[in-house]
Amino acid sequence: MHDKVFSKPIEKQFEFDEQIAAVFDDMLKRSVPFYDEAMALTKRYAKAYLKEGGRLYDLGCSTASTLLDIERGLEMPAELIGIDNSASMLEQAQRKLQVFGSSIRLEEADIMSYQYRPCDVVIANYTLQFIRPLVRETLIKALFDALKPGGAFIFSEKVVSEDKRLNKLMIDSYYDFKKQQGYSEYEIMQKREALENVLIPYTEQENREMVKRCGFAHCETIFRWGNFATFIAIKR
């Protein structure tokens, strides 16, 4: 379904409700530059670190598109678990899983209080930015503890620049991208207002330092376009 959510005046802050869930796949591809390329890398690295019989979590799995692509590319048994606190998102995801006869497990839960079991890989695509900064590291530490030695945390985030002029240039470039995808100036401004104080991004360096403070030995940026970045952090 085509995303027209912000073509009319907003009545509330951004949330992953039924209205967003219905158009989410379209919204992602039209709102995140090079989304397919970033996800292709995410899936490639996830499969490289996932061991036979191992476990992978996708936090904020939304409609489970990434998990389904990983499952289709697996050549060994593994447990894939998608976690999301939006019932509307998981309803959309469950429909997909039924169509493809998938064995992916979906759980409606708060990723902050979820009891993670030992795992090889954790994915979080544009999820941390919606976690309040005061408790963001609490989540990262829980993920670090759950990951087995040699495990990987792969995450994508919207990022900001410490340089004000450069940051404005990146935002302007991003808005030009959205206009090229068919979004109007009005829709762009409406969504920006809805996300105010809901999506709180860090700089690229802040993201790296955060995961290292939580115990990860290494963090690498594997993809970046303007103010969007994908990282991999390794537990030694």
State the CATH number of the domain containing residue 206.
Answer: 3.40.50.150
- Domain holding 202, by residue range, is 5-234
| Average pLDDT for 93-108 | 95
- What is the distance in angstroms between the CA of the first residue and the CA of the last residue of the chain? 43
Higher pLDDT, 2 or 39: 39
- The two three-digit tokens of residue 132, written as one number: 């309040």
**pLDDT at 16 (0 to 100):** 57
Q: Per-residue DSSP letters for 78-90?
A: -EEEEEES-HHHH
Q: Per-residue DSSP letters for 14-60?
A: ----HHHHHHHHHHHHHHSTTHHHHHHHHHHHHHHHPPTT-EEEEET
> Given a cut of 70, is residue 205 above it in pLDDT?
yes
Inter-helix orientation angle 65-73/87-100, to 10°: 30
Comparing CA positions, the residue from 223, 195, 174 lying closest to residue 45 is 223
Q: What is the pLDDT of the chain when averaged over all its residues? A: 91
> Given a cut of 60, is residue 144 above it in pLDDT?
yes
Question: In a 10 Å sphere around its CB, with 0-12 CB exposed, 13-18 middle and 19+ buried, how is residue 52 labelled?
Answer: exposed
**pLDDT at 10 (0 to 100):** 57
> Given a cut of 50, is residue 115 above it in pLDDT?
yes
* Beta strands at 147-160 and 228-234: parallel, antiparallel or unpaired: antiparallel
**pLDDT at 57 (0 to 100):** 98
Q: How confident is the model at residue 87 (pLDDT cuts 50, 70, 90)?
A: very high
Non-local (6+) Cβ contacts of 21 within 8 A are 62, 63, 86, 88, 89, 91, 92
> Given a cut of 90, is residue 79 above it in pLDDT?
yes
Question: Which range among 127-141, 163-177, 183-197, 205-219 shows the weakest confidence by mean pLDDT?
Answer: 183-197
**In total, how many domains does the chain have?**
1
> Given a cut of 80, is residue 17 above it in pLDDT?
no
* 9 in Cβ contact with 193 (< 8 Å): no
Q: How confident is the model at residue 218 (pLDDT cuts 50, 70, 90)?
A: very high
